[in-house]
Chain A
Amino acid sequence: MSHYSGNIDDFGMDTISLAGPLEAKLQAVRDAGFTQIMLAAKDLVGHPDGLDAAVAAVRASGLRVTGFQVLRDFEGLSGHLHDYKVDIAKSMLEMCHLLGCRLLLICSSTSVHATGETQALVRDLRKLAMLAIPMNIRIAYEALSWGRTVNEFPQAWDIISQADMPNLGLGFDSFHMFATNTPLDEVELLDPAKIFLVQLADFMWTEIKSVEERIATARHFRVFPGEGVHSEALAALVARLHSLGYRGDYSFEVFNDDYQQLPLPTVAQRAWRSALWLGEDVLRRSVPLPNQIRLKRRIGR
């Protein structure tokens, strides 16, 4: 690697920040110095040579797959809608398994057809986690800030705790926490072993006034940590998660229309700077941490 390599192997990029074909994204992320990447289902199914070719490209890249996204509007449905979503979930799990990926991300439901009744949400998430057990996949449940019933991470945490499945945990997205102004102290509620993924993003506005603006910002105007106006809050969040005991992955969940029309290495270098800032300046790491060897999944599983 030609780069100065910081001790930041637990930070990764997400394909949603990059334009172009899958192979180019993998190459750019790898060349920037990252060892892992978050993939979306459309990265695989949209590959011109099909799913198997996409999986082969990911495996050949040597990058570890942080997680696979995203299952939407799953919980709280009944009857044929529930059965339909279970089928979708099974297909997502099968793709995740093909990749040798250990984590599937699910966002809290926005569906007006879904009940908000806690027992139903708990039951459905238990079922999803059970589906994932034979494949050795963990389920990270994330509170989307425009979720209909669950829209802040403490609510997601409550459902996860009640579901009480060993492979069901929290997907924590800083954007949604900032968008809903959820107090940082709420992080203290969490069991760090049950935080399965932390996604980080900054954005340019100091305040988001409406749900519509929240959705638009989330999908088009996020930037890498340190590039927006919430750098201090992000630094405080990462430091708090670290002191809580979180040692899992940080993935940059940066949807940005401008980055979609920049050369991939340019975007990947911005992400790398962000990772260095968090690893070196915020978490003040200097030497590799003990017991942080991250083995890549074997090829040909």
Chain B
Amino acid sequence: MNTLSPSQLADRESIAEAANPLGLDGIEFIEYSTTRPQALGQVLEMMGFRPIARHRSREVLLYRQGAINVIVNAHLPAAPDAGAAAPEGKPVLAAVALRVRDAAAAYRRALDRGAWAVPSRVEVMELNIPAIHGVGTSRIYFVDRHDKFSIYDVDFVPIPGVDPQPPAIAGLHFFGVVQYIGNDRTEDWTEFYRELFGFSELPAEQRFGILPKGRILQSPCPPASRFYIQLIEPEAGVLDVEDDEALQRIGLGTADVLATVAELGKRGVEFVESRGVHTEDRGALTKTWLGGVSFELVHDERR
């Protein structure tokens, strides 16, 4: 028992790092970029979101239900590399904004560890929200949100006569993001999220919802704001999609999937019913709109 030197003992477990190094506390918003903002807006409204504010200088709308914020960005970027929207008008999940304890510190820490900075293009009197490059053309923003101040107060103008806090349908809340990755890329992306944000890998038998493929990473957030990233490689043998990596869809949590499906169904939302995927207690998957937008419902008792 006493043959190990102190240095060997120290190396045995890597517990030096705090479990939640950035003070990560959930998703502040997700952002779609699209050349068809009205069509996407209709989809979001069908899903229970309400447009509540407009950006002061760009063609950007903020949708909300409950604590879920969705930004629809139809502002065409000047720089050619910034165009996240696909040419055919298919909306793209362009960004995820993470709530952190200190956005500037989180940003610096990420850059120190090898993240790519996204150059900001703010107009005067707008917030400079730090961002790094994520998968594909997507970005990851760092937002430190305080109770009495929200980022939306600065950059957005409320839409008159609209409830700024529309309730969520059936308690919907952010549950996670599904990311499609290339062949043999699971370890790379696991390391990316572990090193930069403190995500940890869930054991293979721990799965949520009805689409259990791939690897699930758990955010280090406190339980109330915890969310997940699901990494999915192509089907074995499908070699020609190797390069296609992107945020694919978001997952919304609900305590009662079937009731939520019924409620959304009344609003016109259709769900996938096939041999492989169908609505059940554990979860459901909406059909795909506009060539690429779908939502997954996941049974989650939190709210």
Contacts and interface: CB of A to CB of B under 8 A. Distances in A.
Chains A and B belong together in one complex? yes
Interface of A: 90, 126-131, 133-134, 136, 165-167, 295, 297-298, 301
Interface stretch (B121-129, B191-199, B214-222, B224-232): B191-199
B113 A167 contact: no
Interface stretch (B50-58, B182-190, B205-213, B261-269): B182-190
A126 B195 contact: yes
B191 A295 contact: no
B133 A134 contact: yes
Given A130-B195, A134-B133, A298 B243 contact: yes
A129 B239 contact: no
Contacts of B23: none
A134 B243 contact: no
Contacts, number: 47
B240 interface: yes
Interface in B116-148: 116, 133-135
Nearest to A134: B133
Contact of B191 (A127, A128, A131, A165): A165
6 contacts: A90-B116, A126-B113, A126-B114, A130-B192, A136-B185, A298-B240
Given A136-B182, A136-B245, 6 more contacts: A127-B112, A129-B114, A134-B134, A295-B239, A295-B240, A301-B243
B240 A127 contact: no
Interface centre among A126, A129, A136, A165 (most CB of B within 10 A): A136
A186 B191 CA distance: 29
B246 to A, nearest CB: 12
Interface bin, chain B:
20 to 34
Contacts of A131: 114-116
A294 to B, nearest CB: 11
Given A126-B195, A166-B188, A298-B243, A134 B116 contact: yes
A134 B114 CA distance: 10
A131 B117 CA distance: 10
Given A166-B191, A295-B239, A134 B135 contact: yes
Interface string B90-117: 0000000000000000000000111110
Contacts of A136: 182, 185, 188, 243, 245
B192 A133 contact: yes
B240 A130 contact: no
Report whether over half of chain B's contact residues are helix, strand or loop; otherwise say mixed: loop
Contacts of B134: 134
A130 B182 contact: no
B233 to A, nearest CB: 12
Nearest to B241: A298
Contacts of A134: 116, 133-135, 192
A122 B149 CA distance: 41
A223 B92 CA distance: 51
B235 to A, nearest CB: 16
Contacts of B115: 130-131
A134 B245 CA distance: 9
B243 A127 contact: no
A27 B149 CA distance: 62
Contact of B188 (A126, A133, A295): A133
Contacts of A295: 239-240
A298 B112 CA distance: 33
Contacts of A128: 114
B196 A130 contact: yes
A165 B187 CA distance: 9
Contacts of A298: 240, 243
Contacts of B187: 166
A19 B248 CA distance: 46
A136 B242 CA distance: 10
Nearest to B136: A134
B133 A130 contact: no
- In this complex, which of B135, B191, B195, B240 has the most chain A Cβ atoms within 10 angstroms of its Cβ? B191
A131 B182 CA distance: 17
Contacts of B189: 133
A133 B136 CA distance: 11
Given A136-B245, A295-B239, A167 B188 contact: yes
Contacts of A127: 112-114
Contacts of B243: 136, 297-298, 301
Contacts of A165: 191
A130 B114 contact: yes
A131 B110 CA distance: 11
A165 to B, nearest CB: 6
A130 B191 CA distance: 8
Contacts of B195: 126, 130
A166 B192 CA distance: 10
Nearest to B195: A130
A14 B33 CA distance: 42
B81 to A, nearest CB: 10
List the 4 shortest-distance A-B pairs measured between CB atoms, nearest first. A130-B114, A166-B187, A127-B114, A131-B114
